[in-house]
């Protein structure tokens, strides 16, 4: 023992990493005699320190579940305990299932990982035309499309999976194709869409039949709607106002449309089956779900996720395979992926050379606890020198929160005091649309603005001039309100994605239903300074014709008021007298022009 202590001091003195020391032959550390000794005390303290309601943990070693237990509460108010069978949302840990499904398709010869995606999805496009033509399934699954996250385009969006897929060409890249790793949920959603088109099944049905079924993961499901129907599921929790403040119960967030990127719900015991199969290179009991060569493709580094070095030598550079991060952890190869979605945080880690797998599931939004528990358990099982991960990560969180507060304070100090909006608040009310990101609706209650961004609630406050601050379900954004030449508020300009130019949301009027009978009263000829303006029906749609111009479709937006469908900012407003339409006024950026109806 004295000799071992001397060697440790020597190695530390000459500055060699502890990861090298961990591989030195030495006496078995006390932790390996009983690796789970005191583990429950440590995890319970960490859970309370991080203010996390509940934790589910499972550990797989040499093909067997050697530990599975729940800590804390799945329902904080009712004090209902977490078990090893409690269902949690696993968030982006779902990506590994989608990547696995794509590799199964490649194994079956239905696709190639390295051929252009357009060979299988001919309608696939990206904003960068060249990237859209060359992107492969492997590129898509390793985050090198050139696209940044663009998460506000799907988070809270009511659009379907296919509608989101068709919106992808609208998203601007921030780097060149294959230049840099950039996390993007849309690419994994597209991978699920690829599975659907090549298998003839929904992503959910395929994954259930080809992965969950063979593994016996009977309770694992794909929607929070189904999660809530299970007998043993956790409720989602987050922060009332700020991280590490008051805990509150959150609403379940339905992300079915983005499902392949993050909608799976499972338990520690069922996830242990998934991990067991992966550690056995695709085999589970007497079944082979994927062959060794294709299994290797999942974990072959394809992009560099991080070039940061841990100053304590705990981890090495971060690489990325197909749905998995790849790194060295204190001299041990680790494949892992985290997951975060409203009210839940998770981590699944594989140490393939040590035949070790760790699953940590929690019901707290955006917490660092899964990494703390994962590292603590790994250290115990791998016989590594002890590190107080709980204290280390809490200290890091504290620094991050202080930095966040300082950044927020800098924003406030830039505020120009004693300024007012250019218009009455009522004139900002309306709906604004961006084709890629959806709809923002501004409403008012008294002298306070509010509204919605797709399905996200907005709390709006005046910042300065025509700049407003908004909180979208916890996310802070700012937008600028812009006027048109008529002096009307027409556009909201918002920076929602760093690296791309501000996004414009243009005011629009929603079409109202009008029957053919309703529209017939507008049909006729109108005189505009000698020019004959003709309003006519084509089917059940009203059109207007101006000499020398194409026919313009008219969209009814209010009584006697129509938008010109293809001419932004142009309206045709009819006047009625004694039950008859007497005129039509073109309201456009350069003025108003009235045409009198001909007898």
Q: Is the pLDDT of residue 104 over 50?
A: yes
> How many H helices and E strands in the chain?
18, 31
pLDDT computed for residue 16 by the predictor: 31
Q: Is the pLDDT of residue 9 over 60?
A: no
pLDDT by residue (tens digit) across 200-254? Answer: 999 999 999 999 999 999 999 999 999 999 999 999 999 988 889 899 999 999 9
Residues with Cβ within 8 Å of residue 198, at least 6 apart in sequence: 105, 110, 111, 120
Highest average pLDDT, of 266-280, 446-460, 485-499, comes from: 266-280
Last residue of one domain, picked from the residues 508, 528, 555: 508
In a domain, residue 19? The reply is no
CA 372, CA 71: separation in Å to the nearest integer? 14
CA-closest candidate to residue 412, choices 463, 466, 473, 471? 463
Tell me, yes or no, whether 385 and 434 share the same domain: no
Confidence band of 145 (pLDDT split at 50, 70, 90):
very high
Q: What is the CATH number of the domain that holds 127?
A: 3.40.710.10
Q: Is the pLDDT of residue 7 over 60?
A: no
Q: What is the CATH number of the domain that holds 542?
A: 2.40.128.50
CA distances from 296 to 94, 300, 363 (A): 19, 6, 32
Average pLDDT, stretch 62-76? 97
Q: At what angle do helices 95-107 and 185-199 cross, to 10 degrees?
A: 40
pLDDT computed for residue 445 by the predictor: 86
Tell me, yes or no, whether 229 and 320 share the same domain: yes
Q: Is the pLDDT of residue 15 over 90?
A: no
CA-closest candidate to residue 141, choices 322, 319, 337? 322
> In what helix (H) or strand (E) does residue 406 lie, and over which residues does it extend?
helix 389-413
In a domain, residue 199? The reply is yes
Question: Are the beta carbons of 328 and 235 closer than 8 angstroms?
Answer: no
Residues with Cβ within 8 Å of residue 68, at least 6 apart in sequence: 57, 58, 59, 84, 268, 269, 272
In a domain, residue 3? The reply is no
Confidence band of 311 (pLDDT split at 50, 70, 90):
low
Q: How many CB atoms lie within 10 A of CB 485?
A: 11
Compute the Cα dihedral for 100, 101, 106, 112 and give only its sign: negative
CA 580, CA 108: separation in Å to the nearest integer? 69
Tell me, yes or no, whether 132 and 186 share the same domain: yes
pLDDT computed for residue 36 by the predictor: 84
Q: Is the pLDDT of residue 267 over 70?
A: yes
pLDDT computed for residue 21 by the predictor: 32
Tell me, yes or no, whether 151 and 212 share the same domain: yes
Q: Give the domain extent around 467.
A: 425-508
CA-closest candidate to residue 528, choices 457, 474, 597? 597
pLDDT computed for residue 32 by the predictor: 52
Tell me, yes or no, whether 536 and 503 share the same domain: no
pLDDT computed for residue 585 by the predictor: 98
pLDDT by residue (tens digit) across 462-497? Answer: 999 999 999 998 889 999 999 998 899 999 999 999
In a domain, residue 5? The reply is no
pLDDT by residue (tens digit) across 155-165? Answer: 999 999 999 99
Tell me, yes or no, whether 471 and 391 share the same domain: no
In a domain, residue 32? The reply is no
CA 308 from chain center: how many Å? 24
Tell me, yes or no, whether 448 and 549 share the same domain: no
Tell me, yes or no, whether 109 and 176 share the same domain: yes
Average pLDDT, stretch 2-9? 31
Confidence band of 2 (pLDDT split at 50, 70, 90):
very low
Last residue of one domain, picked from the residues 492, 508, 524: 508
Q: Which residues pair with 69 in a beta bridge?
A: 57
Q: Is the pLDDT of residue 264 over 70?
A: yes
Residues with Cβ within 8 Å of residue 407, at least 6 apart in sequence: none
Q: Is the pLDDT of residue 134 over 70?
A: yes
Task: State the chain's mean pLDDT as an integer.
Answer: 92
Average pLDDT, stretch 125-153? 98
Tell me, yes or no, whether 124 and 52 share the same domain: yes
CA distances from 464 to 150, 224, 327, 414, 506 (A): 27, 40, 46, 10, 21
Question: Are the beta carbons of 279 and 352 closer than 8 angstroms?
Answer: yes
Last residue of one domain, picked from the residues 508, 527, 550: 508
Give rounded-to-5 percent helix, strand, coil for the chain. 30, 30, 40
Tell me, yes or no, whether 500 and 398 share the same domain: no
Tell me, yes or no, whether 386 and 485 share the same domain: no
CA 519, CA 540: separation in Å to the nearest integer? 8
Q: How many CB atoms lie within 10 A of CB 140?
A: 24
Tell me, yes or no, whether 526 and 542 share the same domain: yes
In a domain, residue 20? The reply is no
Q: What is the CATH number of the domain that holds 475?
A: 2.40.128.600
pLDDT computed for residue 242 by the predictor: 84
In a domain, residue 61? The reply is yes
Count up the domains in the chain and report the number: 3
In a domain, residue 14? The reply is no
């Amino acid at each position: 023992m004295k000799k071992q202590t001397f060697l440790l001091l020597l190695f530390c003195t000459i500055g060699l990493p502890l990861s090298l020391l961990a591989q030195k032959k030495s006496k078995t550390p006390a932790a390996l005699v009983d690796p789970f000794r005191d583990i429950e005390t440590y995890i319970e303290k960490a859970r309370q320190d991080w203010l996390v309601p509940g934790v589910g943990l499972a550990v797989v070693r040499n093909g067997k579940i050697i530990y599975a237990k729940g800590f804390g509460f799945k329902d904080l108010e009712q004090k209902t305990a977490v078990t090893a069978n409690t269902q949690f949302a696993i968030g982006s840990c779902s990506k590994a299932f989608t990547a696995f499904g794509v590799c199964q398709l490649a194994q079956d010869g239905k696709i190639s990982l390295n051929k252009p995606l357009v060979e299988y999805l001919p309608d696939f496009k990206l904003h960068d035309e060249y990237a859209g033509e060359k992107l492969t399934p492997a590129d898509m699954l390793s985050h090198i499309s050139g696209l940044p996250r663009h998460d506000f385009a799907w988070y809270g969006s009511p659009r379907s999976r296919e509608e989101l897929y068709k919106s992808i060409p609208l998203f601007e890249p921030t780097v060149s194709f294959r230049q840099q790793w950039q996390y993007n949920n849309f690419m994994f959603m597209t991978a699920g869409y690829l599975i659907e088109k090549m298998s003839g099944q929904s992503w959910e049905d395929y994954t259930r039949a080809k992965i969950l079924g063979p593994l016996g993961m009977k309770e694992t499901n794909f929607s929070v709607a189904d999660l809530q129907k299970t007998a043993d599921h956790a409720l989602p929790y987050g922060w009332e106002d700020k991280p590490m403040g008051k805990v509150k119960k959150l609403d379940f967030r339905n992300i079915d449309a983005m499902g392949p990127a993050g909608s799976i719900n499972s338990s520690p015991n069922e996830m242990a089956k998934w991990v067991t199969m992966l550690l056995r290179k695709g085999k589970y009991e007497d079944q082979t779900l994927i062959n060794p060569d294709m299994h290797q493709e999942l974990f072959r580094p394809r992009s560099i996720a991080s070039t940061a070095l841990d100053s304590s030598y705990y981890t090495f550079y971060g690489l990325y395979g197909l749905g998995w991060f790849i790194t060295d952890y204190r001299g041990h190869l680790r494949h892992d992926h985290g997951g975060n979605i409203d009210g839940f945080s998770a981590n699944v880690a594989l140490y393939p050379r040590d035949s070790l797998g760790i699953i940590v599931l929690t019901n707290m939004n955006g917490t660092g606890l899964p990494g703390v528990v994962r590292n603590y358990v790994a250290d115990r099982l791998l016989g590594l020198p002890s590190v107080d991960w709980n204290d280390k990560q809490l200290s890091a969180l504290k620094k991050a929160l202080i930095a966040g507060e300082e950044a927020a304070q800098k924003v406030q100090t830039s505020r120009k005091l004693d300024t007012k909006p250019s218009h009455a608040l009522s004139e900002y009310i309306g709906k604004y649309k961006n084709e890629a990101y959806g709809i923002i609706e501004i409403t008012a209650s008294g002298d306070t603005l509010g509204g919605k961004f797709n399905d996200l609630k907005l709390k709006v406050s005046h910042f300065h001039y025509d700049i407003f601050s908004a909180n979208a379900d916890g996310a802070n954004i700012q937008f600028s309100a812009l006027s048109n030449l008529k002096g009307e508020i027409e556009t909201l300009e918002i920076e929602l994605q760093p690296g791309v130019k501000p996004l414009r949301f243009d005011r629009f009027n929603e079409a109202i239903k009008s029957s053919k009978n309703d529209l017939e009263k507008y049909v006729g000829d109108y005189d505009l300074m000698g020019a004959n303006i003709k309003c006519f029906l084509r089917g059940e749609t009203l059109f207007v014709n101006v000499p020398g111009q194409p026919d313009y479709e008219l969209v009814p937006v209010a009584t006697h008021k129509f938008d010109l469908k293809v001419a932004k900012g142009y309206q045709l407003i009819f006047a009625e007298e004694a039950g008859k339409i007497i005129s039509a006024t073109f309201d456009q950026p350069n003025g108003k022009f009235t045409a009198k109806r001909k007898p």
